[in-house]
Amino acid sequence: MSAKKATSKRREQDPGDVADRRRRILDAAFSAFMKSGYAMTSTLEIATRAGVSKRALYQLFESKQEILAVCISARARRLEVLPELSSPRDREGLAQVLTAVGAQLMREISDPAVIAVFRLAIAEAINAPEVAWALNSIGREASRTTLREVMTRAQSSGLVGGNPAEMAEDFAGLLWRNLMVSLLLRVAERPTEQEVEQRASAAAAAFLRLYPEPK
């Protein structure tokens, strides 16, 4: 093997180089999806935007659908249960946990990039339904899991009674109300930090009124 080929091979196998190509591909794909739509974006366009060959792209990803799933998963990870949150010991503690989690979910989901993914899923619902499936099963499931975990902890502590999944849905409804639709329609601005805190606190208070402490 010539010195030139050996050097080229080492570069291809360099973990740092691989990570960089992977990041560039994902960034390029997300930008292309937002501009042209998922169905109209080709892997060639993604590779060109990322400055890599199609061969290099397929060495890292099996398909365009996998790229989409990874793009959504990367954003969904921000919606997992916050590790520093402990199980609430009383109703006041539960209110604090609900407020903290609610505020975190609202900050992340109202991020313009996340809202753009929701718009993409709606726009591609007919031509590329896999976008909506990926968003629902990966992205939205992360927030559902977060809230269900909080409700399960609260139920285990004897602070509320009910089905954790149903309680999670009720809290989400109290938190968002009609804001998500307004954001999708571009008739509302992303909430400020103060508005996020106020909404989360109000949702927590309303939830505790809806679910009194079991007797």
What is the average pLDDT value for the chain, to the nearest integer? 87
**SS3 state at 110:** coil
Lowest mean pLDDT among 12-16, 125-129, 189-193: 12-16
pLDDT of residue 197: 97
Number of residues in the chain = 215
pLDDT digits (tens, 9 = 90+) for 131-149: 888 888 777 887 888 899 8
Helices (H), the chain: 3-13, 15-36, 43-50, 54-60, 64-76, 91-109, 112-123, 129-134, 141-156, 164-176, 179-184, 193-210
Contact (CB, 8 A) for 199 and 99: no
Q: Counting beta carbons within 10 angstroms of the beta carbon of residue 116, is it exposed (0 to 12), middle (13 to 18) or buried (19 or more)?
A: middle
pLDDT digits (tens, 9 = 90+) for 68-113: 888 887 776 666 555 566 778 899 999 999 999 999 899 989 998 8
Asked if the 3-61 domain carries CATH number 1.10.10.60, the reply is yes
At the fourth CATH level, the homologous superfamily of domain 75-210 is Tetracycline Repressor, domain 2 (1.10.357.10)
pLDDT at 212 over 60: yes
Q: How confident is the model at residue 13 (pLDDT cuts 50, 70, 90)?
A: low
pLDDT at 128 over 90: no
> Model pTM greater than 0.85?
no
pLDDT at 32 over 90: yes
| Domain positions in the chain | 3-61, 75-210
pLDDT of residue 159: 96
